[in-house]
Amino acid sequence: MAAYAIVLHEPNPDVWNRVKRYWPECHYIVNDTLAFIAGDPMLTLTADVSKELGLDQQHNILGVVLQISHYYGFHSNALWEWMAKHT
């Protein structure tokens, strides 16, 4: 599995609803503008995730999808457990 970060410019509940619909078992929403999803790196491309979420000119939602290869920091145990399970 590969982990992806979704960073929004401003809160958008519709985007998080799409995350929950398309990745029901492998998402972790941190706050109004940041979430993580997991997917098969051979099948899941950052561009595809972005399109599914409407992060494009057509929908005019500002945001970025990043594939995560390394991570480090200080956060809740729940986030670290999610990352360990999905990366």
pLDDT of residue 45: 86
Is residue 62 within 8 Å of 9, Cβ to Cβ? yes
- The upper half-sphere exposure of residue 6, i.e. CA atoms within 13 Å in the direction of its Cβ, equals 34
The arithmetic mean of pLDDT across residues 34-50, rounded, is: 87
Considering all CA atoms of the chain, what is the largest pairwise distance in Å, rounded to the nearest integer? 37
Provide the Cα torsion 80, 35, 6, 70; round to 10°.
0
Reported as a pLDDT band with limits 50, 70 and 90, residue 1 is: confident
The arithmetic mean of pLDDT across residues 28-52, rounded, is: 89
CATH class (in words) of the domain with range 2-86: alpha beta
Q: What percent of the chain shows pLDDT beyond 90?
A: 74
pLDDT, tens digit, for every residue of 2-16? 899 999 999 999 999
pLDDT of residue 21: 95
Is residue 36 within 8 Å of 82, Cβ to Cβ? yes
Cα–Cα distance, 83 to 87 (Å, whole number): 6
